[in-house]
Amino acid sequence: MRGKADWWRRVARVAAPIAVAAFTLAACDSLHESKDFERHRYSQIVEPRGDADADAIYFDVRFDANYPQDNAVAEEIRMEWLAAWLKQRNMCGNGFEIESQRPLDWTDYNPGQYDMRYVVKCKVVAAG
């Protein structure tokens, strides 16, 4: 009987890590289906450095085949990402507007290799 019990312990020592690894990989696989994963992969919020655009927020985005540049549906999704970023950071509680957008070029600090920068301004509600 002792030999059989030892055999099961050895199987359990091998099977348990395999089961944990399989569960972890399955959990990571489902992450790629989330909207947050796409938002983090293709966009970022940047607060300007120095005096440049002190009251602005930069929203940088990346284009690819799933989210092309001149596509209304992709642009709508990008605006959803922007709203989600602002909500997550508790910014622009009264709404926002896009002041301008321009392609990023080699003179911009752009380690994430984003393609386009939107200059975003928070809406201010007048007192009174």
Domain ranges of the chain: 1-33, 35-122
- For the question of whether the overall pTM of this predicted structure is more than 0.75, the answer is no
Distance of CA 42 to the CA centre of its chain: 6
**DSSP per position, 53-66:** TTTEEEEEE---SS
User: Amino acid identity of 15?
Assistant: A
Asked if residues 120 and 58 have their Cβ atoms less than 8 Å apart, the reply is yes
- 54 CB-contact burial (10 Å; exposed 0-12 / middle 13-18 / buried 19+): exposed
Q: Is the pLDDT of residue 121 over 60?
A: yes
How do residues 35-66 score in pLDDT, each as one tens digit?
789 999 999 999 887 766 778 999 999 999 99
Q: Is the pLDDT of residue 84 over 90?
A: yes
Residue 68 or residue 32, greater confidence: 68
The pLDDT value recorded for residue 24 is: 65
User: Amino acid identity of 44?
Assistant: Q
Q: Is the pLDDT of residue 76 over 60?
A: yes
